[in-house]
Structure 1
Amino acid sequence: MRGRLALLLLGGVLSTPLQASPDFEQYVAGLKQEALTAGISAATVQAAFADIRLIEAAIKHDKNQPEFKLTLDTYIPRAVPQWKVNQARALYRQHLPLLTKIGREYGVQPRFIVALWGIETNFGKLTGNFPLISSLATLAWEGRREAFFKGQLFDALQILEQGHLTPAAFKGSWAGAMGQVQFMPSSFLKYAVDQDGDGRKDLWGDLADVFGSAANYLHQNGWREDETWGRRVRVPDSLDPALLGLEVRKPLSAWQALGVRQQDGSALPKVDMEASLIRPDDVHGRSYLAYDNYRVLRHWNRSPYFVVAVGTLADRISE
């Protein structure tokens, strides 16, 4: 941890960033030199770091943990309320021609593109207003995860170097997630696409690029168009707990023989596919059969709560 961090934490989260300390200024000078050595142009470095400043709120967010314990029973109604379902259905219908075209190109059902869009940023309304270069430099300087955030910072500089947007418009979450589907800079470089062919990958204001990039991410990580993500199920009390977890995969017929049923008590689908049985909370919590697409969504975000929220919203769109 850097020497002046204790002073930063005394004042709470301020509405404006703290003035950079000499230590931070010295650290930034080193970042600039490393960027130039890595091949980033002097013009991009100068523009990107022109208004660099220490962002105390980014440090506070990175260090703070939730003060209460969520369960899926409390989280899902908050993450997928009826108003969001209604809005998702309306936007799905509004953009269906574009979504259908992109879905066919990448082999991804359009309802999952809309669900990711809705869970990540409330359909583009909550993309974050932190200056990304300053936030990433601050988190690298703070030191707890320096290698990670420094790598994301240099990837962010590559995005600016490629001319996808200006430094002034380069804003996102406190941790560096960007645009309407909240890609980290490394994910942007790997998965973002110029879907409409205008020469820019605009994940902030261009829905073709937003939808295409989300679909490309899923496609590149093994999405299966012929399967859904999973389903909530009932599990008999007698089931061996050792069968729980993503490490165990069984055909649906095997889970059926073990007494696992759909949530309404009906038999599992008679299809030739494997699934894992997961229970993200305790023995009294919800149980799900997780399919291959569950694993792809987990690559996007490892939280089972996030995956279940996306899958639940996608299911509600298609009802």
Structure 2
Amino acid sequence: EGNDGPWWSLLLRIGTPGHNVRVLANIAGQETWAVTPSDCSGSDLDNCPDEQGGTFEVNSSSTWVPSATIWNNTGIYALGDYISDLLGINAADTGPSLNHTVVAGITTKKFYLGQFGISPRPTNFTVMNHNSTALTFSMLKSNNFIPSLTYGLNVGSFHRSKTIKNALCSLVFGSYDRSRFFPNDLDFSFGPDDGRELTVAITSITKDSQGFTQSADLLPTPIIAALDSTRPSIWLPTEACDLFERALGLQWNETLNLYLVNETWHEALLRLNPTVTFEVGNSYSGKTVSIGMNYAAFDLEVSSPIVERRTRYFPLKRAANSTQYTLGRAFLQETYLIANYENRTFKLAQARWD
């Protein structure tokens, strides 16, 4: 799903009666955002509500309590109706449900699909005498649905799902799935910034020589980057993007600010199937973990309303400065993330598909 993927979504049930919506896991946020019918007004999509994961009409829920406009800790201002309502973790009425969770019916065009924030941070209300409200993750713990503020996540791999059953998005609250990753002994510490606390040092990025005359180094100097599942692309210094361009034959489209891939070069990259390996650690020195991405993980498509016709693109972006360095959803396809918010540590490992 999505207009910059495709991606695997999660199914939630919001309100009374329950509205089923499909959303993306958001490791940088803590709220649940669902697309509203008004977000589809004026859309040129043939089936906008379904294309955007299903819609939630705030006023149609008998259990909603109006709240306020919220500035959330990720620094993203979303225009919409923030409410307190009933949230179900899956579509079945018998699944876990939580009362008085923060839900936003969004009308902004910044997000094509809704978001399921899985951080346990509280949301701070700026008006209406609210101080803060606990979110889904922490409410699961306080209601004894889960034993700890730990989650395990793989966002799924759409291209693998055609042949592999367990390539769907996997999210476990309170624990993790040992079968979904290759274990390692490296623990990462949280960074200081809320919303970007899951940070890693990228010490090197290399491309193998498979199908090419030689391997290539793609990162001039180590950098610190945040993990962020709301962004599809990998944001790197311009110098690194230049090296990607030369190594993989990419061409930057100034109008769309995207690396578009035509069908001829796409077929060539499929045949060559290069692997790009990221070495990530807690700091610029010491232990690292290798995360490998073959070309299929970079083979994404962008569609309306970004472009008129569905077009292939390579999910790499030129960062304006160090605050934008990000490893987005494309990178997270190939990883398994275990975040422990009680110890403020996390693990990152190569995802396993067998």
Alignment TM-score, normalising by the size of structure 2: 0.23
Structure with the higher fraction of residues in strand conformation: 2
Structure with the higher fraction of residues in helix conformation: 1
Alignment TM-score, normalising by the size of structure 1: 0.24
When Rg is computed on C-alpha atoms for both structures, the one with the higher figure is 1
